[in-house]
Structure 1
């Protein structure tokens, strides 16, 4: 209304100055049209900003350097925990939503000692690389675990910006992340997460985008928010810096603030501009399994490079989940994993394009753990108990074990017994006691898997960025295999201390 009034006044003044008197109806028509265009543009801009901006924290504090003894571009320090790693809370201090957690308060019991021994360490990350995790809520879980491993305690809110939504108005405390970015993390790098529940294809590029639970598209404006993100490039050493994890007191925070302000005045500000690496998890829970093919995966890889700049792409293999309903579904999942490996080895590389596509064998790790838990639950026949995990396709032969679910359930997507049960009740109509493997058959317990996942990502990226010269394809594959053998299988990890 104010704009319309000003427009008429301006036109009348203009008419007096030029001795031209516009008809009243024409003036009204012109101003109403201009006002309508102004309203539409304002509404669109407001909608786009409201749904896409990554809200920065009110106070930004830089992370201190850690006490790692490596000069590599990415390094990981493994530390034994005095308690079970799953009980330490190391990987869940910034986890959202908490409905995916697997703590005692969620009724989840620790793994038996025969299995817990494979997970009794935490991994601390130091890197100057810019890394972005892309995918659905499972990808968000492990991106947050990586953030925890790369941020010191009490630094989470000071360097972490995020874009969120609340799926349930009746439970406002349940928060999901659409996008987040931590900068700088320990070592000076960047760690980000982008929620995309589809493959990154031209056909799925839609504007405007929304931060909501069931929005299935992406757009390049979201990518630009990441690339244009500014952060302080200077790191400050914590006073009395000790250990992998630090508790920062008020005095230390004040010290950071003063140092940060001095640093910004000196012009020590970086812009992300582009990422070194992207970890893309295929969001198969949101897709028809037949939709996931090599052509679409290659387009996703190439588009990820084009819009984010990443020249190294890591793709985790798919695990068992509660939307795998039949043995045929499970065969399709294993075929997708085989296709991921083939694409990684055969994708065409060119100058200035994607240089390395690495496979993280996450599906292998979870499959092995599910089989071992199935043994504890006595779900295997005698001939199934002696499984050779090195044999390709072994998981297809035991599909009936993975698919064993409660005979009576009210859940639309019930989990498998080996995913969520620490024991089976004699009365199968009762719920089983939980175990720290999966919260619901879809999401994995980062309390258990966080260390191996984080160390695996650091190891794989180290194959590329810690090499003295660009590695050959053969060198990359050998290094990739060593990383997966060490962290993405039930092999003991040698941790000193």
Structure 2
């Protein structure tokens, strides 16, 4: 199984899984379909979970460009969509008494909203074009369209700022301006992250917790259809 996977059991039936992409070399390759499947099956078969909530990979310093994030998150969505289609087809059969469920917690979409808004605030992205992009993202009617639209952020995503040298590897340390900087000269931190890896949970943790609560509630619905789950994920 892929290293650096956090799987936290929320209760006796549900588990949340996050791939620690921020510390995995070439994470967009390492988090393969096989790695995702092995992690999910481990949750069901050995940890006894009935529902797995898998998080998409948010914006972070370890991504060289936004296409790496799009690649890995498209893979996560493809896996879960295929699983749901099979699990709720008329041909589905299983020895389990309860049909296992997978829900997606889209941290990537949340991080895109934060990155875009902050980039507009500090002048990295012009307000007019930023508002157009926000509208396009909001009107994306499926996840694959949404992921394609996020490519428009690539130039801003590649705008970096040197902060010094890495204390472990003694190499120049760069941060993504729109993610970490709170002003155009990066004299203060943004409300999103201070190191590009860890998010400022005292600022945005409430929103993440609320989303998780909604997904958990959805997992207990008696109307177990992939349509219901997809609406919850939105």
Judge conservation of contact 2:23–2:62 (CA < 8 Å) in 1.
Answer: no
Are 1:377 and 1:424, in contact at CA under 8 Å, matched by a contact in 2?
yes
- Which residue among 166, 179, 184 is the counterpart of 1:424? 184
Aligned-pair CA distance for 1:382: 6.9
1:282 to 19, 24, 30: 19
Name the SS of the counterpart of 1:335 in structure 2: helix
1:274-353 paired onto structure 2 within 5 Å: 275-287=12-24, 288=26, 289-325=28-64, 327=65, 330-347=66-83, 348-349=86-87, 350-352=94-96
Which blocks of at least 5 consecutive residues in structure 1 are unaligned?
A: 1-134, 136-195, 201-222, 227-271, 426-430, 482-497
Contact 1:406–1:416 under 8 Å retained in 2: yes
**1:199–1:296 CA contact under 8 A, matched in 2:** no
TM-score under structure 2 normalisation? 0.78
Alignment of 1:362-441 (within 5 A): 362-381=107-126, 384-385=129-130, 386-387=132-133, 388-390=136-138, 391=140, 392=146, 393-407=148-162, 409-411=164-166, 412-425=172-185, 432-441=187-196
Instruction: List runs of 5+ in structure 2 lacking aligned partners.
Output: 88-93, 141-145, 167-171
Once the two structures are TM-superposed, the CA of residue 324 in structure 1 deviates from its matched residue by: 1.3
User: What residue is the counterpart of 2:227 in the other structure?
Assistant: 474
Shift of 1:470: 4.5
1:168-183 matched pairs, under 5 angstroms = none
Cα distance change, pair 197–366 in 1 and its aligned pair in 2 (3 A): same
Distance in 2 (alpha carbons) for counterparts of 1:358 and 1:480? 7
Q: Deviations over 1:273-326 (max 9, x none)?
A: x8311110111123222121112201110011122111101111111111112x
C-alpha offsets along residues 205-263 of structure 1, whole Å, 9 cap, x if unaligned?
Answer: xxxxxxxxxxxxxxxxxx9xx9xxxxxxxxxxxxxxxxxxxxxxxxxxxxxxxxxxxxx
Q: Which has the higher helix share?
A: 2
CA 1:407–1:414 in 2, change beyond 3 Å: closer, same or farther?
Answer: closer
In structure 2, C-alpha distance between the alignment counterparts of 1:321 and 1:479, rounded to whole Å: 25
Deviation at 1:414, TM superposition (A): 2.4
Q: CA 1:408 to 1:450, structure 2 compared with 1: closer, same or farther past 3 Å? A: closer
- 1:86-485 matched pairs, under 5 angstroms: 197-198=4-5, 275-287=12-24, 288=26, 289-325=28-64, 327=65, 330-347=66-83, 348-349=86-87, 350-352=94-96, 355-381=100-126, 384-385=129-130, 386-387=132-133, 388-390=136-138, 391=140, 392=146, 393-407=148-162, 409-411=164-166, 412-425=172-185, 432-465=187-220, 467=221, 469-481=222-234
| Residues in 2 aligned to 1:381 and 1:285: alpha-carbon distance in whole angstroms | 29
**In structure 2, do the counterparts of structure 1 residues 295 and 315 end up closer, same or farther at CA, with 3 Å as the change threshold?**
same
Does the CA contact (< 8 Å) of 2:6 and 2:17 recur in 1?
Answer: no
Distance 2:55 2:117 in 1: 21
1:199 deviates by 8.3
Deviation at 1:357, TM superposition (A): 0.6
Q: Secondary structure at the match of 2:113?
A: helix
- After alignment, is 410-419 or 454-463 more displaced? 410-419
The 8 Å contact of residues 182 and 188 in structure 2, kept in 1 or not, is answered as yes
**Hey, what's the Cα distance between the residues in 2 that align with 1:382 and 1:436?**
19
Residue pair 2:180, 2:194 contacting (<8 A) in 1 also: yes
Aligned length: 207
SS of the counterpart of 1:406? Answer: strand
Distance 1:342 1:354, change over 3 A: farther
351 and 448 in structure 1: CA distance in 2 versus 1, 3 angstrom threshold: farther
Q: Show structure 1 runs of 4+ deviating over 6 A.
A: none
Quick one: distance in 1 between partners of 2:233 and 2:111? 18
Distance 2:99 2:196 in 1: 34
